[in-house]
């Protein structure tokens, strides 16, 4: 049996096909990350000369635990030397800012093993750089993301985040903004506020919640075991979170990532901040996207997804882990 579900925010349809979990598979995938030596890792303390100069670090060279610097191979920059000049097509210079946030001094440490206190410090550092980028009048949108493991798109083993600020609004964020505005005009509240309130009330897909955040498996999840963490209050931009809220977010993020890391050995996943473009009334939330399988022809051809795991099943799986964890604590 298959089911089609539409994402309120993007309008995209997701196909849930549980029978595809049983399909034959000829390829064995273990997601074993490429190992590298600390001596030649450009992100390890003591190797600062291998990267561009830091724009922020929380201690001296060789002693820091968080370090931020411009990406050595940026996706966007201020170089205006090359741009397609064909009149038939629309193009623009790839202007923007691209920074790397190295979030640990330990070469092989994963974020789900960080302390809550350290995750909070990382989140506050990201807020610092986010706010600095948003001051630039040319910047329209700032994307914060983390690729964990080779199947997530990570090219280096050492744990790190990336922040990319762009002078255009990406299509998905533009669509979310427009649909959110339409929803608000029709219903009197933003779509993310409504979704969060609904999920908290129904408790079907809720995993956990705190004073300021709710974690749930989205109704039209694109990825199996996908998690959204949304602010309960209508907060547009990541830079608007207080220290106390980021401390709270760090605790929830640690809990969610610890469960995601147990889905399978060496699981790969992405963390993406869904922020609000300038001049738009949006609502911040975060996506955690486990890479349980790769997009294939249907996904690339239609920009729609096939998911073999219903979000209700995923939420129940996560809640059961939390129950067992709480029983152990008691």
Q: Which residues pair with 134 in a beta bridge?
A: none
> What pLDDT is recorded for position 84?
67
**pLDDT of res. 16:** 57
Q: Is the pTM of the predicted complex or chain greater than 0.75?
A: yes
Rounded distance, CA 249 to CA 159, Å? 19
Rounded to whole angstroms, how far apart are CA atoms 267 and 254? 15
CATH number given to 2-24+32-77+89-329: 3.30.428.10
- Residue 319: the pLDDT is 96
Find all residues with CB under 8 Å of 101, minimum gap 6, and list them: 66, 67, 68, 122, 125, 126, 129, 160, 161, 162, 163
Q: Round to whole Å and give the CA distance between 277 and 180.
A: 12
* Selection from 286, 239, 243 nearest residue 136 by Cα: 239
The Cα-based distances of 16 to 58, 198, 215 in angstroms read 45, 21, 21
Burial of 265 (0-12, 13-18, 19+ CB in 10 A): exposed
* Per-domain residue ranges of the chain: 2-24+32-77+89-329
Q: Are 249 and 121 in contact (CB under 8 A)?
A: no
Tally of CA atoms within 13 A in the half-sphere of 115 that contains its CB: 5
* pLDDT given for residue 329 in this prediction: 38
Task: Report d(CA 40, CA 222) in Å as an integer.
Answer: 37
pLDDT of residue 13: 67
- pLDDT truncated to tens, each residue of the chain (330 aa)? 556 667 787 777 665 555 445 443 333 444 445 555 677 899 999 999 999 999 999 999 999 999 999 999 888 887 766 666 777 877 777 889 999 999 999 999 999 999 999 999 999 999 999 999 999 999 999 999 999 988 888 888 899 999 999 988 988 999 999 999 999 999 999 999 999 999 999 999 999 999 999 999 999 999 999 999 999 999 999 999 999 999 999 999 999 999 999 999 889 999 999 999 998 999 999 999 999 877 788 888 887 888 999 999 999 999 999 987 765 433
């Amino acid at each position: 049996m298959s089911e089609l579900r539409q994402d309120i925010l993007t309008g995209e349809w997701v196909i849930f096909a549980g029978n595809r979990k049983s399909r034959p598979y000829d390829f064995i995938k273990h997601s074993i990350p490429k190992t590298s030596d600390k001596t030649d890792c450009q992100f390890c303390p003591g190797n600062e000369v291998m990267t561009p100069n830091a724009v922020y670090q929380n201690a001296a060279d060789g002693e820091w635990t968080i370090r931020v610097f411009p990406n050595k191979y940026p996706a966007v920059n201020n170089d205006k030397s090359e741009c397609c000049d064909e009149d038939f097509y629309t193009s623009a210079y790839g202007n923007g800012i691209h920074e790397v946030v190295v979030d640990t001094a330990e070469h092989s440490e994963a974020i789900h093993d960080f302390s809550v206190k350290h995750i909070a410090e990382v989140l506050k550092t990201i807020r610092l750089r986010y706010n600095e980028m948003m001051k630039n009048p040319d910047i329209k949108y700032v994307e914060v993301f983390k690729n964990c493991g080779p199947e997530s798109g990570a090219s280096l083993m050492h744990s790190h985040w990336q922040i990319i600020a762009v002078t255009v609004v990406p299509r998905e964020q533009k669509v979310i903004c427009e649909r959110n505005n339409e929803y608000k005009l029709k219903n009197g509240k933003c779509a993310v506020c409504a979704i969060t309130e609904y999920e908290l009330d129904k408790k079907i897909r809720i995993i956990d919640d705190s004073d300021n955040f709710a974690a749930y498996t989205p109704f039209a999840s694109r990825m199996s075991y996908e998690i959204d963490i949304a602010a309960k209050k209508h907060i547009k931009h990541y830079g608007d979170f207080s220290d106390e809220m980021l401390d709270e977010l760090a605790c929830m993020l640690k809990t969610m990532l610890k469960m995601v890391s147990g889905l399978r050995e060496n699981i790969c996943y992405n963390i993406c901040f869904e922020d609000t473009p300038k001049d738009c009334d949006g609502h911040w939330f975060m996506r955690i996207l486990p890479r349980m399988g790769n997009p294939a022809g249907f996904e690339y051809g239609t920009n729609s997804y096939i998911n073999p795991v219903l979000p209700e099943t995923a939420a129940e799986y996560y809640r059961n882990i939390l129950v067992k964890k709480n029983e152990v604590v008691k």
